[in-house]
Structure 1
Amino acid sequence: MEIVDAWERYARGRTPRRETNASGAGTWLNWTQYPDHGPDESILGELQGRTVLELGCGTGCNLAHLATLGADCIGVDIAPTQRKKAVDRWDHLPGLTFHTAEATDYLTHTEGSFDVVLSIFGPVWFTDPERLLPLVHKRLSPDGMLVFSHRPPTAGIQPVGTLREARAVTRWDYDPAEWSALLTSSGFEYSEAEVIPPPEGQEAGTLLVRACA
Structure 2
Amino acid sequence: MSSLLAVLDAVDAQPFAVGLRLRSYELLGELTGRTVVDAGCGGGRAVGELAERGARAVGVDLDPEMIAVARQRWPAGEFQVGDACELPLHSGSVSGYRADKVLHALADPARAVAEARRVLAPGGRAVLLGQDWDTIVIDSDDPRTTRGLVQAKADSLPSPHAGRKYRNLLLDAGFTDPVVEVHTGVFTDDTALAVLHRITDEQSWLAEQAERARTNRIFVAVPMFLVAARR
Please report how far the alpha carbon of residue 48 of structure 1 lies from its aligned counterpart in structure 2 after TM superposition.
Answer: 0.6
**Equivalent of 2:65 in 58, 81, 84:** 81
CA RMSD after TM alignment: 2.6
How far apart in 2 are the matches of 1:63 and 1:175?
Answer: 22
**Equivalent of 2:14 in 35, 51, 55:** 35
Residues 106-143 of structure 1: CA deviation (Å, up to 9, x unaligned): 25x64562111111112x23221232212211211111
Q: Which residue of 1 aligns with 2:182?
A: 195
Residue 103 (1) aligns with residue 90 (2): no
**Equivalent of 2:156 in 149, 152, 162:** 162
Three-state SS of the structure 1 residue aligned to 2:221 is coil
Aligned residues: 177
How far apart in 2 are the matches of 1:88 and 1:72?
Answer: 17
**Letter of the structure 1 residue corresponding to residue 48 of structure 2:** A
Three-state SS of the structure 2 residue aligned to 1:131 is helix
Name whichever structure is richer in helix by fraction: 2
Residue 50 (1) aligns with residue 34 (2): yes
Please report how far the alpha carbon of residue 183 of structure 1 lies from its aligned counterpart in structure 2 after TM superposition.
Answer: 1.6
- Contact 1:161/1:173, CA 8 A, preserved across alignment: no
Gapped regions of structure 1 (runs ≥ 5): 1-10, 19-31, 164-169
Aligned 1:164-183 pairs, distance under 5 A? 170-174=158-162, 176=164, 178-183=165-170
Structure 2 CA distance for partners of 1:45 and 1:105, relative to 1, 3 Å: closer
Please report how far the alpha carbon of residue 200 of structure 1 lies from its aligned counterpart in structure 2 after TM superposition.
Answer: 6.3
Residue 125 (1) aligns with residue 113 (2): no
How far apart in 2 are the matches of 1:191 and 1:87?
Answer: 32
How far apart in 2 are the matches of 1:12 and 1:135?
Answer: 29
- Contact 1:83/1:99, CA 8 A, preserved across alignment: yes
Q: Which residue of 1 aligns with 2:2?
A: 12
Aligned 1:55-70 pairs, distance under 5 A? 55-70=39-54
- Contact 1:12/1:81, CA 8 A, preserved across alignment: no
How far apart in 1 are the matches of 2:94 and 2:155?
Answer: 30
**Letter of the structure 1 residue corresponding to residue 178 of structure 2:** S
Residue 184 (1) aligns with residue 171 (2): yes
Structure 2 CA distance for partners of 1:188 and 1:112, relative to 1, 3 Å: closer
What TM-score comes out, normalization by structure 1 length?
0.72
Structure 2 CA distance for partners of 1:60 and 1:188, relative to 1, 3 Å: same
Three-state SS of the structure 2 residue aligned to 1:106 is coil
- Contact 2:176/2:229, CA 8 A, preserved across alignment: yes
In terms of Rg, which structure is larger? 2
Determine what percentage of the aligned residue pairs are the same residue. 25
Q: Which residue of 2 aligns with 1:208?
A: 226
- Contact 2:125/2:229, CA 8 A, preserved across alignment: yes
Residues 129-186 of structure 1: CA deviation (Å, up to 9, x unaligned): 232212211211111111111113526859x7324xxxxxx1241454x432222121
Gapped regions of structure 2 (runs ≥ 5): 136-146, 189-219
How far apart in 2 are the matches of 1:99 and 1:116?
Answer: 17
